[in-house]
Amino acid sequence: MTNGVKRTYEAMFLVDSAVASTRWEEVMAAIDLVFQRADAEVINVKKWDERRLCYEIAGQKRGMYILAYFRALPVKINTLERDIRLNELFLRSLVLRRDHITEEQMEQPTPAMLNVERDDRQSGSSGEDSQPETESEAEEPDFDAVEIEADSKPATKDKTI
């Protein structure tokens, strides 16, 4: 493998959702700076989604995920990852090589974009009892809000001796 060929990478950044909503330009500037320092060619950067975290990270319970696609020399990836770790705006990050992904796949809508489109469709409907036209338009359940209750009795009895 030659180090002179730029490869395609995918980066996922996790930032505090409050910071992302109030200081979005600062977050984007930090991402741009990281890519500039690695001499990376940015293909696409977009909000992926805001989610509740499985566990607290730096005292935060919610986070905004930002998805980026870029091209860079493989020897620059360690520098890029170090710059990300040193920046306090980023709670976590993940950088993966994605040579197989196409430009069309990079442009596909993220969950955040789909939520905005769904909200726009719902606010634009005039009927109170309007039903979604297809199953794909039906709102998906919020699995983060679902609580599973344990049965008080086991479904089967274990008869081991």
CATH of the domain at 59: 3.30.70.60
How far is residue 40's CA from residue 26's CA, in Å, rounded to a whole number?
Answer: 19
Residue 31: strand, helix, or coil: helix
Residue 16 lies in a domain: yes
**For helices 24-37 and 77-86, what crossing angle results, to 10°?**
150
Residue 23 lies in a domain: yes
Residue 72 lies in a domain: yes
Tell me phi and psi for residue 19, to 5 degrees: -65, -45
Domain encompassing residue 65: 7-112
pLDDT at 65: 94
Tens digits of residue pLDDT in 60-80: 899 999 999 999 999 999 999
Residue 158: strand, helix, or coil: coil
List, as one string, the DSSP characters of 78-133. HHHHHHHHH-TTEEEEEEEE-TT--HHHHTSPPHHHHHHHHHHHHHH---TTPPPS
Residue 54 lies in a domain: yes
Residue 38 lies in a domain: yes
Q: What residues form DSSP beta bridges with 94?
A: 12
**Which amino acid, 91?**
L
Residue 100 lies in a domain: yes
Task: Look at residue 24 and tell me whether its pLDDT is greater than 60.
Answer: yes
Length of the chain: 161
Residue 128 lies in a domain: no
Number of helices (H), then strands (E), belonging to the chain: the values are: 5, 4
- Which pair of structure tokens corresponds to residue 72? 């860079």
Tens digits of residue pLDDT in 107-132: 777 766 676 666 666 666 544 444 44
pLDDT at 128: 45
- Exposure string of 90-109, with b = 16+ CB inside 10 Å and e = fewer, is bbebebeebeeeeeeebeee
Terminal-residue alpha carbon distance, the chain: 59
Residue 40 lies in a domain: yes
